[in-house]
Amino acid sequence: MRRNHILCAILLTALLTAGCSSQQNQMKYIGAESAKQAALDASGLSSSETESLVADLCSKNGTDYYQISFTAKGQSYQYDIDALTGVVIASRTTTYAPAESQTAAKPQTAAEPQTAAEPSSGANADAGTDTGANAGATVNANAAAGNEMISADDAKTCALAHAGLSTDQATFRKSRLDREKGSQVYDVEFDTADGKEYDYEIDAYSGAIISYDYEVKSSPSSDTNSTITEEEAKKLALAQVPGASDSDIREFQTDHDDGRMEYEGTILYDGMEYEFEIDAYSGAIRSWEAEPVGR
């Protein structure tokens, strides 16, 4: 009799184990494509309306999920989708200003007329309040309240908006999370087809542009040997830093690069240091660097 009880117990255990194994086999990941569709459904957008739709499999606190990122209609979206159930765990949206709404001036390039501009000068970029340097990104309230980092794609979007460029105008060389003097920053680098190089440091939480470099690698063409004056060069540089005056120019000199005359100088204004190189023939700003003083 006792033997029969033992046999029954063994059979029951085997059946229960088989049942659990079968259930576990049925719990499979939904897959990246299904996760993308779940994120699109949550956003109310279609795939044709989005750009840079990316899915990454992640894990946090024992939960596996797909992190879906994309941009659409002036916004950058990020969704965390449960890898087993397809449920939206979290969502974040970053809104950035279109290039035409940026109010600060941008350094001019060789291909542009002398009144044209490139990235804004960002007098208060280190404080996160500059209307030019910060026009590229505004992190939404949900992300700010949760003290969450923006994504690498968000950082790219901030940089492009500040430079006044669209995604198809830039070739990215780097978009990497880094640590700078105890702070988390994204180091974003990209080039354009006309020989311009951009390098941005962007705060990983607020999206504020901390510093940036801009350089034109190709030599500007010139149909004349005449040059702009020192005063004209200074005015071009000061135009990129709203509020700055002649007294804020701390260094200024004439130099030659590859046989071409250029003006070089430094502006110190409102806690920021700006270094520039201006082609003496075309008046194009060939190099522009902006960073907090003492950095």
Tens of pLDDT along 247-259?
A: 999 999 999 877 7
DSSP state, residue 44: T
10: confidence class by pLDDT, cuts 50, 70, 90: low
53-76 per-position pLDDT tens digit:
888 888 776 678 888 888 887 777
pLDDT at position 229 over 90: yes
70-93 per-position pLDDT tens digit:
888 777 788 888 888 888 877 777
172-194 per-position pLDDT tens digit:
998 999 888 778 999 999 999 98
258-284 per-position pLDDT tens digit:
778 999 999 999 999 999 999 999 898
Q: What confidence score (pLDDT) does residue 8 get?
A: 55
pLDDT at position 206 over 50: yes
95-128 per-position pLDDT tens digit:
544 333 333 344 544 444 333 344 443 333 333 3
Q: What confidence score (pLDDT) does residue 143 get?
A: 42
pLDDT at position 223 over 80: no
37: confidence class by pLDDT, cuts 50, 70, 90: very high
Which H or E element spans position 11? Answer: helix 2-26
C-alpha dist (Å) from residue 159 to 16, 210, 232: 57, 11, 29
Residue 92 identity:
R
181-209 in b/e form (b: 16+ CB < 10 A) is eeeebbebbbeeeeebebbbbbbbbbbbb
What average pLDDT does this structure show over 215-228? Answer: 74
Higher pLDDT, 149 or 278: 278
